[in-house]
Amino acid sequence: MKFRRMSTISLDPRLNLQAIKNPPNQHGVVLEEIEGFLRVHKDGNIERPPIIPTVPSTLALPHGVTAKDVVIDKFTNLWARIYVPSHPGNLPVLVYFHGGGFCVGSAAWSCYHDFLANLACKASCVIISVNYRLAPENRLPAAYDDGFKTLMWVKQQALSEPSEQRWWLSRCSLSSLFIVGDSAGANIAYNVTTQLVSRDPSSLRPLSLKGTILIQPFFGGEARTWSEKYATQPPTSALTLSNSDVYWRLALPLGANKDHPWCNPLANGMTKLRDLRLPAIMVCISELDILKDRNLEVCNALSSLGKRVETTMYKGVGHAFQVMQNSQLSYSRTQDLISHIKAFINQ
């Protein structure tokens, strides 16, 4: 059967945003659904309703911040949105991966555009926000491959210094590179980091990986944690247990379960982790998140192996509070998060 998508996604250079075109026809039986975000039809079509608007890079930027979209690989439609504040000096570089269970989301989503433009401004850093390929059309490790390819692209730009990239490259401190993400994006950040550090350290030069920041990292496992089973979730929660299961079914390789190492980094023991030369890691955990206990398990395991892990708990907020700012408390906690990131990347 020919595989077609209901929602075709492409970077339209004329509009400078992600264009989403949804034909009106219906495709019958729905096999998997994340309400409002995703429908996977039996006939192979994938529907992603535009519940969160995509916006151009120039929209509503803080004073002094410049943002543009750049193509990294035209053959796989891999691109990134780069944010550069006008602050003096050479600035830390954050390669950022958005959340969305590996299956939805975009670097052009308004919530990420707002958050990252403000983060670049307030934390004085250059941010490369990666628009990686989504599952189930592109199951893992596609997103990891796109993350690694982005870092190799940044390295290549730093070596060749092409004139069209000078607007952001000239502002970067190449010795202060951080890999960052939230939710599924934090999972990508973690797995790209482990892939990088398992190689020859010189493979990244002239870049130097200084740290990794994991915001509510999306890990899983066959055995449920206490917070997965019992944490009380508001009806509008960005991540429920049932949604989590759907995302993993669609993202993992066919036939894999949630104890696959990409989902559960502790599933096969910690022997491999012990040998990894990991950089400093900052893990940001939400108190009301179903992922809280699993995040803490990973932090404790890494710490027990002598890895440098800095853990911060954000009280009274749930998953993805920093991009789903629907209360004064979540806004306040987001400012705290930005302050903590700024301190981490400048230490």
Catalytic positions: 183, 289, 319
Q: CA 10, 14, 16, 19 torsion: positive or negative?
A: negative
Q: How far is CA 217 from CA 24, 75, 78, 187, 199, in A?
A: 36, 29, 22, 5, 23
| DSSP secondary structure string for all residues of 49-88 | ---S-B--TTTTPPTTEEEEEEEEETTTTEEEEEEEE--S
Long-range contacts, stretch 23-32, CB < 8 angstroms, 24+ apart: 32/246, 32/249, 32/250
Q: CA 231, 232, 236, 242 torsion: positive or negative?
A: positive
Report d(CA 222, CA 255) in Å as an integer. 14
Query: Tokens representing 30?
Result: 């729905």
Q: Are the C-beta atoms of residues 219 and 291 closer than 8 Å to each other? A: yes
Report d(CA 258, CA 274) in Å as an integer. 22
Of 295, 299, 275, the C-alpha closest to 285 is 295
Q: Which helix (H) or strand (E) holds 179?
A: strand 172-182
Burial label for 149, CB within 10 Å (0-12, 13-18, 19+), is middle
Report d(CA 4, CA 263) in Å as an integer. 28
Report d(CA 261, CA 219) in Å as an integer. 9
Q: How far is CA 312 from CA 93, 135, 189, 292, 339, in A?
A: 22, 30, 18, 11, 12
Report d(CA 83, CA 69) in Å as an integer. 9
Q: Are the C-beta atoms of residues 92 and 345 closer than 8 Å to each other? A: yes
